[in-house]
Amino acid sequence: MDRRGTVITAVVLIAIGAYLLLANLNLIPNYSFTQLWPGIVVLVGILFWLGFIFGKDHDPGLAFVGTIVTLVGLFFFLFTFNVDLLGLGRVDWDDMALLWPVFPLIVGIAFVVLWAAGRFRDWGVLIPAGILLLVGLGGFAFTLGNVPVFQNILQWWPLLLIFFGIVILIQSVTRSRSK
């Protein structure tokens, strides 16, 4: 294990130990594992991000995977802590039937991150990004179309079409200039 890996491992162990000690001393809320397990998923995602940031190659694929894993872990926290969402009330696992469009949105966001992590060179990754973002928003239009807060968001979805049209136009212009 290189020096960075050792430091990261040490910091993670210290953070977990500090949390457990403070919880045992009743100085902070003592959450159960059934509430905290998404933290493991988030931690794995963060480790991928650290690999991207501190790795020699700065492999954009690590940022892509790190984004997906981190966002999925954060999304799962909504369910384990029964977060109160506007228009939906307290979220539990039964609400997955309404919230499934988050998954294509997360992957669409990860493709945008991949494009940015690759220094905005591979414009082709924006095509699946756009498709997945539209599928996610379309899914929400179907599952949450009657929620007032979401109706306001749905008014602005055509901005995605405008954005991707501009991206394709810029790509076309820059490609023809380089030839």
- Domain co-membership, 10 together with 74: no
- Domain co-membership, 113 together with 141: yes
Predicted local distance difference test score (pLDDT) of residue 119: 87
Give the span between the Cα atoms of 97 and 99, in whole angstroms: 6
Q: For the chain, what is the domain count? A: 2
> Does the pLDDT of residue 160 top 60, yes or no?
yes
- Domain co-membership, 89 together with 13: no
Query: Averaged over 86-98, what is the pLDDT?
Result: 89
Query: Averaged over 83-110, what is the pLDDT?
Result: 92
Q: Greater confidence, 47 or 6?
A: 47
Predicted local distance difference test score (pLDDT) of residue 30: 80
pTM of the predicted model as reported, rounded to 2 decimal places: 0.77
Give the span between the Cα atoms of 65 and 99, in whole angstroms: 21
> Does the pLDDT of residue 173 top 60, yes or no?
yes
**pLDDT, tens digit, for every residue of 12-61?**
788 888 888 888 888 888 888 889 899 999 999 999 998 999 888 899 99
- Domain co-membership, 1 together with 68: no
- Domain co-membership, 164 together with 142: yes
Range with the poorest average pLDDT among 59-63, 100-104, 167-171: 167-171
Which one, of 45, 62, 153, lies nearest residue 101 by Cα?
153
- Domain co-membership, 92 together with 11: no
Q: Greater confidence, 92 or 174?
A: 92
> Which domain, by its residues, includes 14?
1-30
- Domain co-membership, 97 together with 64: yes
- Domain co-membership, 25 together with 81: no
Tokens of 20: 């457990």
- Domain co-membership, 69 together with 17: no
- Domain co-membership, 19 together with 40: no
